Amino acid sequence: MTYEVVRGDSLWKISGRSSVYGNPYQWPLIYRANVDQIRDADLIFPGQRLKIELRPSSADVDAAVHHARTRGAWAVGPVERSDLRYLDQYGLAPKR
């Protein structure tokens, strides 16, 4: 499934939609699936078409929710170290 970002969206809002995951704490799943176009998980743009994995494994959901709940302070622009660690466990890195 794909989702087109509209003004005012965030990964938190998108993952909370009933048509997506129905749980805003699952936003890291969207970040992970779209690291090729998202550098900072706190900064997405209208018009971006994001891939949404419809049936993530329970282990991936658990890891995403754990990351979202323990991420710590965030800021728009820099990539948080906790986000880098989350992606690293999957052998991924954010877009440069």
What is the residue extent of each domain of the chain? 2-88
DSSP state of 5: -
Predicted local distance difference test score (pLDDT) of residue 1: 95
% of the chain with per-residue pLDDT over 90: 86
Q: What is the DSSP string of 52-93?
A: --SS--HHHHHHHHHHHHH-----SSSPPHHHHHHHHTTT--
- Which amino acid is present at 62? D
Indicate if the pLDDT at residue 95 is higher than 80: no
CA 78 to chain CA centroid, Å, is 15
Rounded Cα distance between 55 and 43, Å, is 25
What is the model's pTM? 0.93
Indicate if the pLDDT at residue 45 is higher than 80: yes
Rounded Cα distance between 3 and 80, Å, is 24
Reported as half-sphere exposure (CB side, CA atoms, 13 A), residue 61 has a value of: 12
**Looking at per-residue confidence, does 71 or 96 come out higher?**
71
Indicate if the pLDDT at residue 20 is higher than 80: yes
